[in-house]
Amino acid sequence: MMHNKYSVILSVVGSCCDRYLSTGYSDPFTLPELFDRVASIDHVTGVELVGNWHITTDNVSFIKENMQRTNLKMVAIIPDHFGKMEWGKGAFSSKDHAIRRKAIEHTKEMMDAVVELGGDLVSLWPGQDGYDYLFQGDYIEERNWIEEGVRECCQYRKDVKVALEYKIKEPRTHSYIGTVAQSLLMVQKIDSKNCGVTIDFGHALEGGENVAESVAILKKYGDKLFHVHMNDNYRSWDDDMIAGSVHTLEFIEFLYWLKRTGYQGWLSMDQYPYREDGKEAASESIKWLQAFTSIVDRMKDSEINQLFEKGNANEINRYMRERMFGK
Amino acid sequence: MMHNKYSVILSVVGSCCDRYLSTGYSDPFTLPELFDRVASIDHVTGVELVGNWHITTDNVSFIKENMQRTNLKMVAIIPDHFGKMEWGKGAFSSKDHAIRRKAIEHTKEMMDAVVELGGDLVSLWPGQDGYDYLFQGDYIEERNWIEEGVRECCQYRKDVKVALEYKIKEPRTHSYIGTVAQSLLMVQKIDSKNCGVTIDFGHALEGGENVAESVAILKKYGDKLFHVHMNDNYRSWDDDMIAGSVHTLEFIEFLYWLKRTGYQGWLSMDQYPYREDGKEAASESIKWLQAFTSIVDRMKDSEINQLFEKGNANEINRYMRERMFGK
Amino acid sequence: MMHNKYSVILSVVGSCCDRYLSTGYSDPFTLPELFDRVASIDHVTGVELVGNWHITTDNVSFIKENMQRTNLKMVAIIPDHFGKMEWGKGAFSSKDHAIRRKAIEHTKEMMDAVVELGGDLVSLWPGQDGYDYLFQGDYIEERNWIEEGVRECCQYRKDVKVALEYKIKEPRTHSYIGTVAQSLLMVQKIDSKNCGVTIDFGHALEGGENVAESVAILKKYGDKLFHVHMNDNYRSWDDDMIAGSVHTLEFIEFLYWLKRTGYQGWLSMDQYPYREDGKEAASESIKWLQAFTSIVDRMKDSEINQLFEKGNANEINRYMRERMFGK
Amino acid sequence: MMHNKYSVILSVVGSCCDRYLSTGYSDPFTLPELFDRVASIDHVTGVELVGNWHITTDNVSFIKENMQRTNLKMVAIIPDHFGKMEWGKGAFSSKDHAIRRKAIEHTKEMMDAVVELGGDLVSLWPGQDGYDYLFQGDYIEERNWIEEGVRECCQYRKDVKVALEYKIKEPRTHSYIGTVAQSLLMVQKIDSKNCGVTIDFGHALEGGENVAESVAILKKYGDKLFHVHMNDNYRSWDDDMIAGSVHTLEFIEFLYWLKRTGYQGWLSMDQYPYREDGKEAASESIKWLQAFTSIVDRMKDSEINQLFEKGNANEINRYMRERMFGK
């Protein structure tokens, strides 16, 4: 039996905006309301925060109060490397040395904050670190800067895990930390035990990955899967939809490989429910994941190993269909 | 209750080749063996043939014998506009007038043959009609040629339906009959009651369509869905895999819209099981389709209409999940 | 010689935001500043406005003053069907009848405004009209609503052209007016002489179209190309980059087909220069377009017709390369 | 000044087939004719061969004669791991141990052959090593097998470079050696000085890579670019078209980064000119590459470094346009 731990990123239950409707698709909530909304979702025991959007060095105790009131565990902080004008052209790989320093300092502050709040993980998503136009960046040096910056953060506190969250594009047309394998090359270069990778299910899909295989690759090259973000999309963009609302077999295979590789971390909902109530949208994700998990629970490793040994597509389809819908 | 009629294209149960292994991934079967293999698949009552590959003006009576022996109904013939060297640069839109004439003549012959064999439908897939390079074709005139040629075929025998099977690319990098809406523009121009469209599920996916919506569009603009080919793929290429092996919700929505729009035709398996036994691969497709159909049977139009009226994504996800996996 | 008329959408020279940085990548400009910035770009003689963002029924005379001061011609207004919370779930196809009425009324107001300002075109981009999740909408009825609404607008004033700007996705994961051929099906159904289509170069690319071919298709099925928006992207998303910064041959072929089909309208810059100065970014687009136009000017129709007649890819490549870079 | 060395894969100048027209789009040539055709192309000084298609252990001296007659240098052999029925379900990662052994033995034979013919490189493209269906393979173990097999080959002869040619899909829907970063993870694990990577320009595009960046990544993580295949496509499939026939800026940036990173190897044409004369199609590729190279020759490293330092998109566009088309 898989025993999943579910958490929700605080912004999921808030109001979402996009470039056409920058003032938001619905009215905003206060921070305490967001905590209450997360806590009210069945099966959710943890919460994940975004730097600046939710947490700064100034409001840690206020956050702590909210966590205590709602009895939510600190899953992770995502430091802000994307949501202020100063990050607009990059954070860890900014061409401006002072900005690169700020990216590191903010990360360290969030590492301190996460420990203060009972957690041990920051998930770095340097979304502005990349480029839009050909000939816009030195692909070697700018990657070196990211590796140096992240290494400094990793060495700052060995008791905090630093996970790189890869994404192929957006907000830049090209991200430097784009795929699972690129992330691993960086992690190997950074060479710090507390450095690993966050899989965002939708980012992996958008990058053309089979997400279950990405789990396997992280296992094979150093056991580096540190954290997981859940959502869904149509494969060409990070639509951040309800997990399970588009894909089915991909989620089943993904959960199976989480189990097979012994993943012990959280499944954290990371969605943009522009036109839906976010509380329910997170709840729907969890219910899909539970449905898929119960299918995985009907699969024995010995059976799967036999499927792998033969690789017979017809047998695989029969096996999967019967686990999903019975004979 | 939906009552699907299942058929199989003869080549599905044979040997497949590709550009790297042109001699085939397995040993070939004789024509009678192919018929026997199709007939042995549970729930299959019809067969579809490809011009030149299986049927020519010379072997119609031999085909008839095989159909009688195996008790299979004639579902459709796909005239050959793609598999001989003379079609290499186009059939209906060939720059060579003599080739264009041949494309029309072969189509008429196959229309005669299909009637002779008890059928009433040809499915045209002019796969070589398109272009590879920019500036290679006159996009207007070459489309005119297709419309004129197909119109002539339609007028040749009003008792035979002529369905255009669209596909966005392959073997050309760009096809002239690429999408459902492009097909409809042509059908309207051809302006013959017996002219309609074949949806190949995988072609529609590859072209970025939501296939259920393509069914709706064909209903809306003239009730023009004449035939359906079933298979599956990963959305970027016509992988011709087992139907249901990749997508789930898309098939359920597709089948629902077939029911909603009153489709009365066949579901014909059109796969390339390169590395699998084709007989079993077709059988697996049908079993997935049956599983999906039984889910559709649990949906009432009144419930779906209510979902449509509100458009609430959270309700929709709950409804779908419960129909698929129970509460 | 092609004589292009260049215009710029007012927002191009302002500050851009996205879902991560909703307060903008740079500081905002006032409306008069935006007009001055557009007017200062070489070769620009027209301006295009967005409803609510720039123009409402209340500020028409203020806009008029700015146009007179800057000597810019009124190219088009894009009514707002996407940028207010009330449009969040659709405008012309909203499930709420009152919203559908508002979409029509706002369009009519903008049609009056455009005439008041000396123009004769509105470009409709109903970006919220579509769906995100499967089973979320009635694909037939909601399309009917769009056609009815647009038809009412077209009949309101025959002296104003109403152009549908198609886009495959964003802000919805699926748009109802998604492709050039879907637009034409709607235009034919709406059946009003003043109803046509806007090609946004990047939207067409994102939708998998060869944009030159889209021009040809609009010519063939009713001569319906009414307006053009220029930008560029990497084919998978509407990146709204400098036109010419990614694609080369595609722009040349596009401009050639504009010439071949006798397009007389504007080339209007429609970009999101998040991290660049928008004035210069629009200027760069125009300079690329001029470079491409001078290449088109070196091509004779008789030569192109000969290339079409033979379709020889090697000859085509030689011809194009020599026109671009000499022998 | 860049001094490119051009070669051609022998099959480029022959007859091509696909899954619909398996007997070929044109009549075949004899092996000596293929050599003559390659040798007759301007600027070509080397030839690349495919195992079994052109070279076996039995015809090495015959190949040698042809090379001497035509005065072509041995650039590389691509061992056959894709073109015989026995490789249909994988070579280095076949589930059958005996097939895995054969894949290794054939590679060693081709390593011997390439030395015998004066070369020092084999380019491995294990196109059948991957999977089609979810749950079809053990993503960890099967990758281990590839690494073990290739390591054994590398250790067999240190005087022969072994380059992994990655490709995201085809003939499998998913390849194990799919991207540049995945290749590097494998190369690092194989840990042999003579193990590196082949970039096929079109494979990289198809995999969503910016090819210039892939060159940079190979430089950064071990200086591992060993070989280059040239062709072009529309980004979604390995169309194997004339290099330069679709992309422009991407080739320029790619060639610039080859220069910047000091690449000394060959540019080998790898195309499938289904409907064109292959000799001319290879020649057209080379002429495009020469045109792009002359543009690169107009760029100074100091200027490019300045563009990198500022990252100003408007300046970059101006700079590129002027190098391409003058002021």
Q: What percent of chain C is modeled with pLDDT above 90?
A: 99
Residue D169 at interface with chain B, using a CB cutoff of 8 Å: yes
Residue of D235, D287, D314 lying closest to C277 (CB–CB): D314
Tokens of B51: 């011009």
Is the model's pLDDT at B327 over the cut of 90?
Answer: no
Tokens of A250: 């991909």
* Alpha helices (runs of H) in B191-312, residue ranges in sequence order: 201-206, 211-220, 249-260, 278-296, 301-310
Which of D215, A316, C123 shows the shortest CA–CA distance to B241?
A316
A-chain CB neighbours of C84 within 8 Å are 21
3-state class (DSSP) for residue D107: helix
In this predicted model, what pLDDT tens digit does every residue of D221-274 receive, in sequence order?
999 999 999 999 999 999 999 999 999 999 999 999 999 999 999 999 999 999
Does A324 lie at the interface with D, CB-CB under 8 angstroms?
A: no
- Other Cβ atoms closer than 10 A to B253: 22
Query: Which among C182, C176, C139, C181 is positioned nearest to B215, based on CA atoms?
Result: C139
Are A237 and C242 in contact (CB < 8 Å)? no
Check whether D306 has a pLDDT greater than 90.
Answer: yes
- Residues of chain B above pLDDT 90, percent: 99
Is the pLDDT at B1 greater than 90? The verdict is no
Per-residue pLDDT for C114 more than 90? yes
DSSP B241: B
Residue D310 CA to residue D319 CA, distance in Å, equals 13
pLDDT at A1: 84
Q: Is A3 exposed, middle or buried (0-12, 13-18, 19+ CB in 10 A)?
A: exposed
Closest CA to B272 of C154, A24, C145, D172: D172
pLDDT(D320) > 90: yes
Q: CB–CB of D20 and B133 under 8 A?
A: no
| Chain A CB within 8 Å of residue D61 CB | no
The residue-averaged pLDDT of D215-223 equals 98
Confidence of residue C196 (pLDDT cuts 50, 70, 90): very high
Residues 243-272 of A with CB under 8 A from D: 249-250, 253, 256-257
Number of Cβ atoms within 10 Å of the Cβ of D27: 9
CB A181 within 8 A of CB A168: no
Chains C–D, number of C-beta pairs less than 8 Å apart = 76
B231 DSSP assignment: -
The amino acid that residue D89 corresponds to is K
In Å, how far is D122's CA from the nearest CA of chain A?
24
Q: How far apart are CA C176 and CA C140, in angstroms?
A: 10
Between CA C206 and CA C179 the distance in angstroms is 10
pLDDT in tens, B272-294: 999 999 999 999 999 999 999 99
**Tens of pLDDT, residues B11-39:** 999 999 999 999 999 999 999 999 999 99
Which distant-in-sequence residues (6+ apart) come within 8 Å of A202 by Cβ? A229, A231, A232, A233, A238, A239, A240, A241, A270
| D51 to chain C, closest Cα gap in Å | 28
> CA-to-CA distance for B141 and B143, rounded, in angstroms?
5
Q: What is the pLDDT of residue C19?
A: 97
For D86, the closest chain B residue by CA position comes to B25
Strand-pair partners of B51 = B55
Complex-level ipTM beyond the 0.90 threshold: yes
**Interchain CB contact of B84 with D (< 8 Å):** yes
D302 touches chain A (CB under 8 A): no
pLDDT single digits (tens) C203-246: 999 999 999 999 999 999 999 999 999 999 999 999 999 999 99
**Whether A307 contacts chain B with CB within 8 A:** no
Give the Å distances, CA to CA, from D16 to B23, B84, B95, C316: 13, 13, 21, 20
| DSSP secondary structure code for residue B232 in this structure | B
Which residue is listed with tokens 């240190």?
D158
How far apart are alpha carbons B297 and D194 in whole angstroms?
61
Nearest 5°: CA angle at C241, between C239 and C243? Answer: 130
pLDDT tens-digit map of B231-261 = 999 999 999 999 999 999 999 999 999 999 9
Q: In this predicted structure, what is the pLDDT of residue C231?
A: 98
The Cα–Cα gap between D218 and D213 comes to 9
Contact B40, B303 (CB under 8 A): no
Number of helices (H) and strands (E) in chain D: give both, helices first. Answer: 11, 10
Over its C-alpha atoms, chain C yields an Rg (Å, rounded) of 20
d(CA A218, CA A212): 10
- Indicate the residue of B242, B276, B313 with minimum beta-carbon distance to A242: B313
DSSP letter, residue A218: H
- CB within 8 A of A69, min separation 6: which ones? A32, A35
Say yes or no to pLDDT of D1 above 90: no
- For residue range B133-169, list pLDDT tens digits in order: 999 999 999 999 999 999 999 999 999 999 999 999 9
Chains that touch B (3 or more CB pairs under 8 A): A, C, D
Name residue C101's beta-bridge partners: none
Residue B169: its pLDDT value, please? 98
CB pair distance less than 8 Å for C221 and B181? no
Amino acid occupying residue C215: V
The sign one gets for the Cα dihedral B81, B82, B87, B89 is: positive
Enumerate the H helices of chain C as residue ranges: 31-39, 60-70, 97-116, 141-156, 180-190, 201-206, 211-220, 249-260, 278-297, 301-310, 313-325
- Among B91, B67, B95, B89, smallest CA distance to B80 is for B91
Is C22 within 8 Å of chain A by CB? Answer: yes
Burial class (CB in 10 A: 0-12, 13-18, 19+), D147: buried
Which of C95, C133, C307 lies nearest to residue B316, judging by beta carbons?
C133
How far apart, in Å, are the Cα atoms of C236 and each of A168, B204, C174, D76, D83? 12, 17, 14, 35, 33
Give the nearest partner residue to A22 out of C17, C173, C274, using CB atoms: C17
Under 8 Å between Cβ of B48 and B10: yes
B-chain residues within 8 Å CB-CB of D285? none
Q: What is the DSSP string of B13-59?
A: GS----SS-TT-SS----HHHHHHHHHTSTTEEEEEEEBTTTB-TTS
- Residue C146 near residue C183 (C-beta atoms within 8 A): no
Task: Say if residues C227 and C265 touch (Cβ distance below 8 Å).
Answer: yes
Tokens of D155: 């250790």
Contacts of A325 in chain B (CB under 8 A): 291, 294, 324
Residues in chain A within 8 Å Cβ distance of B280: 314
Contact in structure between C244 and C292 (CB atoms under 8 Å): yes
> Per-residue confidence at B120, pLDDT binned at 50, 70, 90?
very high
CB contact under 8 A, C318 and D284: yes
pTM attached to this predicted model:
0.98
Task: Using CB atoms, pick whichever of D168, D208, D320 lies closest to residue A135.
Answer: D320
| Chain-chain contact of A316 with D131 (C-beta, under 8 angstroms) | no
Percent of chain C with pLDDT over 70: 100
Picking from C83, C133, C233, the nearest residue to A21 by CB comes out as C83
- Quick check: D313 and C235 CB within 8 A? no
Beta bridge partners of A46: A7, A73
**pLDDT score, position A327:** 84
Distances (CA, A) of C245 to A173, C322, D318: 13, 21, 10
| pLDDT of the residue at B24 | 96
pLDDT digits (tens, 9 = 90+) for B44-65: 999 999 999 999 999 999 999 9
Q: Which residues of chain A have pLDDT under 70?
A: none
| Yes or no, beta carbons of A133 and D313 under 8 Å apart | yes
Q: Closest by alpha carbon to B121, among B79, B162, B72, B165?
A: B162
Nearest CB to C134: which of B134, B188, B249? B249
- Arithmetic mean of pLDDT, C168-175: 98
User: Quick check: A313 and B275 CB within 8 A?
Assistant: yes
- Is C327's pLDDT higher than 90? no
What is residue C1's predicted lDDT score, i.e. its pLDDT?
Answer: 83
CA atoms of A266 and A73, how far apart (whole Å): 11
Phi and psi torsions of D321, nearest 5°: -65, -40
Packed helices B278-296 and B249-260: angle between N→C axes, nearest 10 degrees: 70
Residues 6+ apart with CB under 8 A from D204: D166, D180, D211, D214
